[in-house]
Structure 1
Amino acid sequence: MADTITISLDAMGGDYGADVVIPGAAIALERRPDARFAIYGNEGTVLPILERYPALKAASTFHHCDIAVAMDAKPSQALRQGRWKSSMWRSLEAVKTGEAHVAVSAGNTGALMAMSKFCLRTMANIERPAIAAIWPTMRGESIVLDVGATIGADAQQLIDFSILGGAMARALFSIERPSVGLLNIGVEEVKGLEEVRTAGRLLRDAGLPSLDYAGFVEGDDLGRGTVDVVVTEGFAGNIALKTAEGTAKQIGEYLRSAMKRTFLAKVGYILAKSAFDRLRDKMDPRKVNGGVFLGLNGIVIKSHGGTDAEGFASAVELAYEMQRNKLLDKISQDLVHYHRGRFAGATEGVK
């Protein structure tokens, strides 16, 4: 595994299962020809589709699984019924045993997080994992976390998320010292919840060399790209994510409706088609598909369950990049540095 990056795939996850996972992996392989795959799923469903992609088949090992985790299964139910035998569990277990570097699934988010925590465990000094999303902005892209793994977070967890998100920005964007902001209802130090204010004060005092704490940011800063990493707890983060997705679809529908309304509007669309194509490409959610589970002893990527092959390919490529740029090593280094600083500060306080 030293010369290649092996990605384990839950072929049964998502709304369309192997019908999207296998073609998506084939697209990703064309763009990342040194990738290798460990595919987990039902042989009667997966193998006929895999046969249509000989290059992918040659770059993969297939493992039959008797159970597929349902999209509506409760996490506790999925853990009881899906451990050891499900395609989701075995794709995660491959990361744990070292057979794969990273796992990708479009399956049930709650079940995937529960299994990931149970199978891979959280990293040292990380109490709760987070889901990080790539967010299109006016400046390019930023990272937002948590978008749904942890509902509510105390000050220490927000600091942990800041470190995790900063490491991901370094791995994905090659930024030496990414800027990090805490999502709040205002930029003034006196505003917001006590836990957010406390986290901000501690981050500023910590003076971490791996990130540049920029203070509080507001909701409209997400689209502006004011900072490289926006940190919040999972309830607010998930609402922000779903609102942004819904707004993008709403704008798209408005534009399509307006362009069909009159003959002159149709002519205008034809004349401005290249501009509309660029806008469509910029707003395409498939280009930023894939939530990264951070804080675990392994890399797990959650693809949107309703995406198509192109979208799933984006999630696979994200997994590839996270491993190629050594995300886990960066997180470990940053956590060690932060907790050494805390220990040194506590020791000085005792003296």
Structure 2
Amino acid sequence: MTDLIKIAVDAMGGDNSPKKVIEGITLNHQSNKEIFYKIFGDRDKIIQLIGSKIDKKFYEIIHTDKIVKSTDSPLEGAKRGKETSMWLAIQSVKNKEADIVVSAGNTGALLVISKLNLKMIENIDKPALSALWPNKKGMSVVLDLGANIECSSKNLLDFSIMGASLYTSLYPNDQPNVGLLNIGSEELKGNEIIKETYQLLNEKKSNNYDFSGYIEGNHLMDGNVNVIVSDGFTGNVALKTAEGTANFITSELKTAMTGSIIGKISSLLNFSNLKKFKKRLDPRLYNGAIFIGLDSPVVKSHGGTDFVGFSNSLDVCHRIVKGNLIEKIKQNI
């Protein structure tokens, strides 16, 4: 079993854990037999949930009843000690006992504990929080989504290289195409840091990605750019706006299709297309943000997702390790 990818799982983080985490592992294991799950959390609760659903040769339970609470500040989460499920899971990656770690727990604490345990990749100053977004042609990698409120042009250049490396790891058959999120597409638009980054990316020709210049918020879903780079403040606002818009559209469409007899008949006639539409906007299918810049990969599952979403974050972990993300960043940086 030494050829299996080992994922360290914080089973106690996020809403409805460890139930959703174990159900997510079970769902993931049904379609993927290349993963060994190192599960950190309350042994009694986990054993009761996992039962005989997974062969014991595919998982190990490391017991701890200490957890990082969702209400903790990042510092409070770190101060809870080295016996929490989150800390132990991250430490297993540090000690090379696992290839990657995933948690649905406190985001701030996860970043702080990761930085306390793991080194930065050489020549990278700050880690970035990245995620997958759907677009008209496939998927985009977007970063930073909140790890760094203020960024220098050097940071944004690093994010571009790391984002392109992540995209290549996840989609090895496609060429990354980088764009800087800005208030306009003209070269003179934006603040000084954005303009400096534009110049750096224009001058730094690379075989690993293309640079398409600026991209405005209304073109994020077009698909012409598949690696979108910004500082953490702007990226987080864009993320929350996109999530809110998707929820609004889905909710309004559901109301329109069920609010009258004609709407109900129309929804029945278009059931297949509506199902595809709903699936395209289902955030669970894109669950799994990635802290990149550290010398070991750390994946953050959304705290409020269900077992389907957590299963997808495990799939992201598998693809990152198979795609040799860390080595790609080291080579490209």
TM-score clears 0.5: yes
With 222-231 and 190-199 compared, the bigger mean Cα shift is at 222-231
CA distance in 1, matches of 2:44, 2:73: 26
Equivalent position amino acid for 2:181 in 1:
L
- AA partner of residue 24 (structure 2): G
Deviations 1:121-165 (A, max 9, x none): 211111110011100011111110001111121100000000000
Conserved in 2, the CA contact under 8 Å of 1:177 and 1:209? Answer: no
How far has the Cα of 1:264 moved from its partner? 1.1
Distance in 1 between residues matched to 2:298 and 2:234, nearest whole Å:
22
Partner of 1:322: 320
Q: Is the 8 A contact 2:144 2:159 kept in 1?
A: yes
Aligned to 2:201, what secondary structure does the other structure show?
Answer: helix
SS in 1 for 2:77: helix
Greater helix fraction, Structure 1 or Structure 2: 1
Q: Which residue of 2 aligns with 1:193?
A: 191
Note the C-alpha offset of 1:53.
2.2
1:51 corresponding residue in structure 2: 51
Residue 341 (structure 1) aligns with: none
Query: Is it true that 1:114 corresponds to 2:132 in the alignment?
Result: no
CA distance in 2, matches of 1:293, 1:52: 33
Q: Which aligned runs of 4 or more in structure 1 are off by greater than 6 angstroms?
A: none
What displacement does 1:2 show?
5.2
Matched with 2:38 is 38
Q: Distance in 2 between matches of 1:306 and 1:115?
A: 21
> What's the TM-score once normalised by structure 1's chain length?
0.93
What pairs with 1:51-70 in structure 2 (closer than 5 Å)?
Answer: 51-55=51-55, 57-70=56-69
Question: Once the 2 structures are TM-superposed, how far is the Cα of residue 54 of structure 1 from its aligned partner?
Answer: 3.3
Structure 2's unaligned 5+ residue stretches are none
Structure 2 partner of 1:7: 7
Q: For residue 33 of structure 2, what is the amino acid of its counterpart?
A: P
Aligned residue runs from structure 1 range 77-226, under 5 A: 77-81=76-80, 83-175=81-173, 177-226=175-224
How far apart in 1 are the matches of 2:173 and 2:149?
Answer: 29
Q: Distance in 2 between matches of 1:179 and 1:86?
A: 40
1:261 shift after superposition: 1.8
Give yes or no for contact 2:29–2:54 (8 Å, CA) kept in 1: no
In the alignment, the residues of structure 2 paired with residue 158 and residue 143 of structure 1 have an alpha-carbon distance, to the nearest angstrom, of 14
Per the alignment, residue 74 of structure 1 pairs with 73
Q: RMSD between aligned alpha carbons?
A: 1.2
* Gap change, CA 1:66 and 1:262, over 3 Å in 2: closer
Deviations 1:270-302 (A, max 9, x none): 011111001011111111100011000101110
Q: CA deviation at 1:242?
A: 0.9
1:240 and 1:175 map into 2 onto residues whose CA distance is 27
SS at match of 2:220: helix
How many pairs are equivalent?
A: 333
Residue 258 (structure 1) aligned with residue 256 (structure 2): yes
Residues 293-333 of structure 1 deviation map (CA, whole Å, 9 limit, x = unaligned): 10001011100111111110000010000001101110110
2:324, 2:156 → 1: CA distance? 23
1:300 to 274, 298, 302: 298
- The alpha carbon displacement at 1:44 in A equals 2.9
Confirm or deny: 8 A CA contact 2:179 2:211 kept in the other structure: yes
| Offset, 1:175 | 4.2
Letter in 2 for 1:130: A
Aligned residues of 1:176 and 1:210 also touching (Cα < 8 A): no
SS in 2 for 1:214: strand
Distance (Å, rounded) in 2 between the aligned partners of 1:228 and 1:256: 30
- Percent identity reads 38
| 1:9 alignment partner AA | V
In the alignment, the residues of structure 2 paired with residue 204 and residue 31 of structure 1 have an alpha-carbon distance, to the nearest angstrom, of 43
**Distance in 1, Cα, partners of 2:286 & 2:173:** 18
